[in-house]
């Protein structure tokens, strides 16, 4: 349910500046440091907590990576505020330990995973992905994580499971942006089961070889590189297998602007701006937006025969 009408959301809250302003690097909160014994060794707080045993992945890009400083200080994470620097400024209140993720719904093996046990589920990989925001900016980020399908196979979905719903933390004490009624909390997103099973779909627990910073969705988030960034739910507490298509938070808020599929598609404009061009953070000139964010060879078959203007 939309609580705050779209007309009341200032353009400054949703549109990035034309020229990216340099911002200070946000130092991770004490929660990440407390995880050091399980995840790696931190030389000091400013350096972040290194993840141990990360291997290279075949899923990488020969493109310039967006600097760590930019990745961790220019974010959309409305749970901490609608400004791009709000997450870095305010996310220190999030406590990523202790943390559990519940696997629920239409599965033969429901289970609740402690985050540290979940990290041992599969080898951690570094995957360099393009990420495209619906607002028109993009980044290239070296995520660390493991395929979502590792959890799905262990959960053993029933024949009724057609979709996967992701529910994120709802705790206004830890996430002060949830005191605002810009969205109906908790944040909810969803994928079709075959999208969730795709090998590109990642559960990320880090970036740049370090523990995932609070402002980027600690301790665990979804990354779906061929979709707009808001599909990649952050700070996940529940993964539910369901029969009917979930209603995601932005669909519920503004359905004419945010569809369920949310594939990067330069041919389908947002009602308030074009999607044909994008600006890579750190660059001045715009570039052409790629269909499926450049991952068409891997994922186009998922949508064969679909009208992608209708199913946007």
Q: Could you read off the pLDDT of 89-129 as tens digits, one per residue? A: 999 999 999 999 999 999 999 999 999 999 999 999 999 99
Q: Are 168 and 80 in contact (CB under 8 A)?
A: no
Cα 124 to Cα 57: distance, rounded to the nearest angstrom: 9
* Best CA proximity match to 31, nearest among 157, 213, 176: 213
Whether residue 3 is predicted with pLDDT greater than 50 in this model: the reply is: no
Dihedral sign of CA atoms 33, 36, 37, 42 in order: negative
Residue 159: exposed, middle, or buried by beta-carbon count in 10 A (0-12, 13-18, 19+)? exposed
Q: Are 200 and 59 in contact (CB under 8 A)?
A: yes
Q: Could you read off the pLDDT of 29-78 as tens digits, one per residue? A: 334 434 443 443 332 333 489 999 999 999 999 999 999 999 999 999 99
pLDDT for the residue numbered 10: 41
> pTM for the complete prediction?
0.86
pLDDT for the residue numbered 211: 97
What's the CATH superfamily of 6-256? Oxidoreductase, molybdopterin-binding domain (3.90.420.10)
Q: Which two tokens stand for residue 176?
A: 């002060």
Residue tagged 């899923």 (tokens): 59
Q: Determine which helix (DSSP H) or strand (DSSP E) holds 115, and give its type and residue range.
A: helix 115-118
The CA angle 17-293-48, to the nearest 5 degrees, is 65
pLDDT for the residue numbered 32: 41
| Phi then psi dihedrals of residue 279, to 5 deg | -120, 120
Residue 226 neighbours by CB under 8 Å, 6+ apart: 200, 263, 264, 292, 293, 295, 296, 298, 299
- For the segment 284-299, the average pLDDT, to the nearest whole number, is 97
Q: Which two tokens stand for residue 83?
A: 């400004």
Antiparallel, parallel or unpaired: β 163-168 and 210-211: unpaired
Q: Could you read off the pLDDT of 197-214 as tens digits, one per residue? A: 999 999 999 999 999 999
Q: Which of 4-8, 189-193, 257-261, 296-300 has the lowest mean pLDDT?
A: 4-8
């Amino acid at each position: 349910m939309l609580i705050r009408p779209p007309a009341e959301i200032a353009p400054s809250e949703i549109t990035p500046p034309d020229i990216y302003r340099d911002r200070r690097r946000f130092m991770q909160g004490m929660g990440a440091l407390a995880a050091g014994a399980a995840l790696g060794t931190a030389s000091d707080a400013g350096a972040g907590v290194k993840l141990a045993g990360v291997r290279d992945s075949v899923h990488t890009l020969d493109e310039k990576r967006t600097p760590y400083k930019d990745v961790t200080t220019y974010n959309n994470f409305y749970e901490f505020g609608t400004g791009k620097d709000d997450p870095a400024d305010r996310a220190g209140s999030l406590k990523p330990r202790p943390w559990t993720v519940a696997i629920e719904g239409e599965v033969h093996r429901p289970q609740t995973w402690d985050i540290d046990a979940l990290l041992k589920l599969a080898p951690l990989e570094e995957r360099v992905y393009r990420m495209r925001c619906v607002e028109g900016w993009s980044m290239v980020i070296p995520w660390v994580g493991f395929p979502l399908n590792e959890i799905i196979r262990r959960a053993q979905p029933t024949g009724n499971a057609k979709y996967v719903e992701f529910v994120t933390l709802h705790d206004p004490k830890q996430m002060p942006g949830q005191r605002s009624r810009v969205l109906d909390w908790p944040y909810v997103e969803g994928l079709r089961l075959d999208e969730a099973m795709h090998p590109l779909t990642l559960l990320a627990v880090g970036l740049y070889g370090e523990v995932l910073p609070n402002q980027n969705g600690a301790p665990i988030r979804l990354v779906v590189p061929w979709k707009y960034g808001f599909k990649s739910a952050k700070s996940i507490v529940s993964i539910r297998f369901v029969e009917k298509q979930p209603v995601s938070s932005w669909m519920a808020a503004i359905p004419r602007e945010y569809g369920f599929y949310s594939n990067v598609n330069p041919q389908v404009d947002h009602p308030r701006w074009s999607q044909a061009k994008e600006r890579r953070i750190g660059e001045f000139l715009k570039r052409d937006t790629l269909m499926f964010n450049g991952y068409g060879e891997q994922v186009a078959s998922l949508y064969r025969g679909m009208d992608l203007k209708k199913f946007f």
